[in-house]
Amino acid sequence: MRLDAACALATGKGRKECRDAIRRGAVSVDGIVEKKADRTVTEGQRVVWSGEELDLREHLYFMLCKPDGLVCTTEDLPESVLTLFPPKYRKRLFCVGRLDKDTTGLLLLTDDGAFDHHLMSPKHHAEKEYVVTLARPLSASDVESLQGGMTLENGETTLPCRVIPEGETTCRIVLREGKYHQVKRMFAAVSNRVIALRRVRIGSLDLDPTLADGQWRELTEEEVLLLSEKKE
């Protein structure tokens, strides 16, 4: 890859800005200042821009344990989940799907559009599993209504799902779709209210139990491949 292209990929800056920085000596390759923008670099080389080492990988994949109070946006806002990541990643990453501001748990971030499309496509139907805390006990008839598919307040219908009670006011719900505020709206349809919502699984990937709220780690190659598999 050309050096200016690699810098653009890693920083999110325009190619012209990268070429200008290279020509003025702001970029080094393996410890040596490089002023040729068309110089070829590979993923294993050390490229430093104004003292910051760049990540030259073509794509990045992260698991975040999203905390309460942050929003899934790429805008430069103090409440964005991207503030939890180093500056060198913030221009590259976007959220795979969204979690509400008050919803916690498993959130994927990447710069790979094909990966995002695959997981979010209705044709793929990647399961999403949530732990739900409710305002009042969940009855057997509520579970039946939720699992069978239901009509929401605006007339939208939901697909059948799985509901696994874990206590009087806690349960797990497994969905294959992701309508706006769907879990909250489904429980509202059985006259209940969601107090807390935490996503713990997407497809074959469970939330890493070693991650505290606000912590993240990179996905392994195996995890990326498993999430990318097409289901019949």
Which positions are annotated as active-site residues?
Answer: 100
Q: Which helix (H) or strand (E) holds 89?
A: helix 87-90
Which of 90, 6, 19 is closest to 56 using CA atoms? Answer: 6
State both tokens at 148.
Answer: 């069978």
Contact 165, 171 (CB under 8 A): yes
In one-letter notation, the amino acid at residue 214 is G
Q: What is the DSSP string of 120-174?
A: H-TTT---EEEEEEESSPPPHHHHHHHHT--B-TTS-B----EEEE-SSSEEEEE
